[in-house]
Structure 1
């Protein structure tokens, strides 16, 4: 489709395991068969527990990691097998904002050098005015160009990371837990900045997060991951008001209610998250699901539209009854 910025079809990413003899030949199935689409103007929230494969999917989507199987298309072009210098024009369309700004910024480089690097990778020599303009877009000033990352707060460092991603004028930003390492008050400032940049520059986002409240604030569509697969996706309003997958319902039941005295029925999941080295047969969530039956162990369910909606889909044999 002409408005598709990113399309993943059947993407898998496995990591080999070395060490103990009984693990020989095993693989960590970090991403295990994901179909995912981002269109122009969308802000898609990618949520799930730690270890569900969100960050790995983000790195495969930006081609920082090669997929084990499946295809990655950026701007309508298949870039699955594109490598090296040929990836440079591709990366002008899609950029990644990393989770930890302190770890993603070189402590030995000044802010000016950090912002200059993406330009030079594209064969461009930026002017000081261009670098100052980048900093102003993210709420900083030209006097910060000569400073080093350790001289900034966590929120300011994340703004520098966003400015670096904006330097090549991308159409899509994938933000990997962009506010998880920040104080709550600073989180709101960074999220407001992302929203302003979306309106000003016409950006699209994939916002990777485990905080459902953060995603609800900015996302127009939500995809929920569990054990390397997407188990539910749809418009944010529908997913939050009427979750169809038991896992999504359990996640939402844990979100605090911002009203004194308000109560919510908590769904406490039993057991632990299975290892991605040896995931369960059939539905990956069945070992913790309160609705699991024998059929759930036979074959993995596929994403299908839930009752009353064409865009809201869930991978479950026994989805929750919609209440809309």
Structure 2
């Protein structure tokens, strides 16, 4: 049994570490000099998902679909409008900052832009110590040891963030997330700002750390190649909602939602002959505005299968195969 199979087996045999149900986040929209309330925009609209111990759930979708907002809600950088976020036997959705603080030891985040998440005035040693100070703790391992675990040298501990490359800065962000030995790490587009060669190094590092420490990841990205490399399961988001979830191999081999089909058809194939001969699914139109979403199915304005039912009734996630759920009135399977 290879490492991927062992990781999948560990994740499948345990109850969820994180369970999100019907998560909603609405932001007020204000106009004019008086900032008159003109309505609300639903950035996240009824998202439900789970992450098991030792599992990586990939969350994918177009820019503006609400992926990063989900990350901020789960880590409670934003307060949800409604819904539940069960983690470590507690519902994080209604907790205040005092009650959240001890739970943050087990729930950490790696940000998209490492430089904006690192204090430019602090050395790496101070940045890593800050994770402990927030919890009122003294560091229980030297900064040099943390840096070694993410592939950096001991001499880097007394440098400032601007002295590092993007990949090195992201390794520092990962080291900071690991300092308190969390159970779940939310990775919000952690490789999207990096060169392709550096992306592969960071993904391999995350996998190695997961195997070493038994970490769980919520891995958010728009790059399906990166998601495929690291994920155990994948959830696909569109306009604030999850439209399909499945294990990695099933999603890539047998996508059921038309939007998932379109996303996968845009991923280039390494074989030029196959790339030239395959059918490309082109989505027409732009992503609708969350200020004025379509009635019924949110995807219907770009879907070739849409009919009156799609306009009248919003489809709910339903199970169509073992481990696969889809929110579509007319799901399809690839032979």
| Aligned 1:229-240 pairs, distance under 5 A | 229-240=241-252
Task: Name the structure 2 match of 1:96.
Answer: 109
Distance in 2 between residues matched to 1:2 and 1:200, nearest whole Å:
18
How far the C-alpha of 1:262 sits from its partner, in A, is 2.0
Aligned residues: 320
Task: Name the structure 2 match of 1:51.
Answer: 64
Task: Name the structure 1 match of 2:257.
Answer: 245
Structure 1, gaps ≥5 residues long: none
Task: Name the structure 1 match of 2:230.
Answer: 218
Task: Name the structure 1 match of 2:191.
Answer: 179
Q: By percentage of residues, which structure has more helix?
A: 2
Closer/same/farther in 2, CA of residues 137 and 298 from structure 1, 3 Å limit: same
How far the C-alpha of 1:82 sits from its partner, in A, is 0.9
Task: Name the structure 1 match of 2:133.
Answer: 120
Task: Name the structure 1 match of 2:283.
Answer: 269
Query: Per-residue CA shift, 1:158-187, capped at 9, x if unaligned?
Result: 000000111111001110000000000000
Query: Per-residue CA shift, 1:261-315, capped at 9, x if unaligned?
Result: 2232111111111101111111100010111111001121011122xx2211100
Distance in 1 between residues matched to 2:258 and 2:14, nearest whole Å:
34
How far the C-alpha of 1:22 sits from its partner, in A, is 11
Q: Give the conservation status (yes or no) of the 8 Å contact 1:119–1:168.
A: yes
Please, what TM-score do these two structures have when normalized by structure 2? 0.92
Distance in 2 between residues matched to 1:2 and 1:256, nearest whole Å:
35
Quote the RMSD (CA, aligned, Å): 1.6
Q: Does 1:10 align with 2:22?
A: yes
Q: Does 1:111 align with 2:119?
A: no
Query: Per-residue CA shift, 1:3-27, capped at 9, x if unaligned?
Result: 3211111110011111259984311
How far the C-alpha of 1:83 sits from its partner, in A, is 1.4
Q: Give the conservation status (yes or no) of the 8 Å contact 1:4–1:75.
A: no
Closer/same/farther in 2, CA of residues 22 and 262 from structure 1, 3 Å limit: farther
Distance in 2 between residues matched to 1:288 and 1:277, nearest whole Å:
17
Closer/same/farther in 2, CA of residues 3 and 131 from structure 1, 3 Å limit: farther
Distance in 2 between residues matched to 1:58 and 1:152, nearest whole Å:
26
Query: Per-residue CA shift, 1:57-109, capped at 9, x if unaligned?
Result: 01101111100011111122112111122211111111110000111111111
Distance in 2 between residues matched to 1:70 and 1:225, nearest whole Å:
17
| Aligned 1:189-208 pairs, distance under 5 A | 189-208=201-220
Please, what TM-score do these two structures have when normalized by structure 1? 0.96
Task: Name the structure 2 match of 1:146.
Answer: 158
How far the C-alpha of 1:322 sits from its partner, in A, is 4.1
Post-superposition, which runs of at least 4 consecutive aligned residues in structure 1 deviate over 4 A? 20-23
Q: Give the conservation status (yes or no) of the 8 Å contact 2:31–2:38.
A: no
Distance in 1 between residues matched to 2:20 and 2:324, nearest whole Å:
18
Distance in 2 between residues matched to 1:13 and 1:23, nearest whole Å:
20
How far the C-alpha of 1:133 sits from its partner, in A, is 1.2
Distance in 1 between residues matched to 2:332 and 2:270, nearest whole Å:
25
Q: Give the conservation status (yes or no) of the 8 Å contact 1:283–1:300.
A: yes
Query: Per-residue CA shift, 1:178-211, capped at 9, x if unaligned?
Result: 0000000000000000000000011011110000
